[in-house]
Amino acid sequence: MKRIVVIILSFIMLTGLLGMGSKMAAEEEGGGKGVTGGEVKQVTVTAESEGNTIKEQEKTKRIRIEQEGEGEKENRYLKIYDEKGKVKRKIDLGISVQKVKAKNKEGIIKDANLIKRKYAAISDDNKKAVILEYSKETFGGYVENDNDGKLRLEIVDIYGNTLLSKEIEQNREPGSGGGDNPIKILPDGSILIITYYTIGADDTPTDDVLYIYNKSGEETFRFPGKGEQGYLINGYKISPNGKYLGINYIIFQPKSKSSVIFFNLSNGKSWDLGRSAYIKNITDEGKVFVSKKREIDIIDLKSKLGE
């Protein structure tokens, strides 16, 4: 009987000591986050509060992509603000159509529609932005009779200055069958662009190409290579440091194939996975996470493509 009483008393004392230890630990953290006087306070973070925080952070950035209006009256702009928060430069984005007089391929001046599509991307450090503009004069007839479409690249800095303005392609429109954002600024300042060829009997997008241009507007990479046709780019992923690139593609000729090809952009090496897969992520160290049915495979690109 005495043994039972001793065990019960020991348990009570141990429980009390543990309780005191927990309270002391809580009080030590009381000056920290959510704990005061040994009591843990519940901190509720809602989607609305997180959204407001993000909006406040966006307001501090000098270069922003902003929307005005909604529905049919919706307009998007690339805006560059000065140090006092006033708009220094404003660039229209999206689609615009303007009535103009233009010379057709036969040299005859006729009424035409000048169609423009503008896309933009901002660098991660918010010091530069790139604008990709596709423009084309159409005359209301067959697509083949329209003037050549022009693709122009413009790079601007945080002060609104144009650092580069250059026509880079003809008859290639921004976008891809996969619907990815057609333009992205890489960490070294290079520009990644996805385009498709727009000339055809029915103007059907075909022959996707992914380009990379340097800061001078010179082409440094393209997939597929020159002369290769019949590709559809379903999407891509690139490592945060811009070194490893993975591209989902489908080729229709001479034999249909769906696969993923990876590149080490620092040494030019490539490796084809040989099957289709969804790329979830690529790390700076070359680790690729791809989905295979309902499982995730990890591929080490360093072993395939080198450092």
Q: Per-residue pLDDT averaged across 64-82, rounded? A: 93
**Confidence class for position 300, pLDDT limits 50, 70, 90:** very high
pLDDT above 80 for 32: no
Query: What's the confidence (pLDDT) of residue 144?
Result: 79
In 10 A of CB 152, how many CB atoms? 17
Residue 9 confidence (pLDDT): 39
Q: Of 122-136, 170-184, 285-299, which range is least confident?
A: 170-184
For all residues of the chain together, what is the average pLDDT? 82
Q: What is the pLDDT of residue 182?
A: 87
pLDDT tens for each residue of 91-144: 999 999 999 999 999 999 999 999 999 999 999 999 999 999 999 999 987 777
Residue 33's alpha-carbon distances to 26, 27, 39, 43, 179, in angstroms, are 11, 11, 11, 9, 43
In angstroms, the CA 265 to CA 300 distance is 15
Residue 301: pLDDT over 90: yes
Q: Which of 212, 175, 6 is nearest to 94 (CA)?
A: 175
Lowest mean pLDDT among 85-99, 153-167, 279-293: 279-293
Residue 19, helix vs strand vs coil: helix
Q: Is the pLDDT of residue 59 over 90?
A: no
Burial class (CB in 10 A: 0-12, 13-18, 19+), 264: buried
CA torsion 119-240-178-305 (nearest 10°) is 130
Please compute the mean of the pLDDT values over residues 64-70 and round it to a whole number: 93
Q: Is the pTM of this model over 0.95?
A: no
Instruction: Tell me if 153 sits within 8 A of 213, measured CB to CB.
Output: yes
The predicted model gives 258-281 an average pLDDT of 95
Percent of the chain with pLDDT over 70: 76
At 7 the pLDDT is: 39
- 213-234 pLDDT, tens per residue? 999 999 999 999 988 888 999 8
Helix H, strand E, coil C: the string for 144-206 is: HHCCCCEEEEEEEECCCCEEEEEEEEECEEECCCCCCCCEEECCCCCEEEEEEECCCCCCCCE
pLDDT score at 51: 53
The arithmetic mean of pLDDT across residues 278-288, rounded, is: 95
What is the pLDDT, as a whole number, of residue 47?
Answer: 53
CA angle 71/149/252 to nearest 5° reads: 90
235-240 mean pLDDT: 92
* Whole-number pLDDT of residue 132: 95
Q: What is the pLDDT of residue 55?
A: 54
| Other Cβ atoms within 10 Å of 106 Cβ, number | 7
User: Who wins on pLDDT, 283 or 12?
Assistant: 283
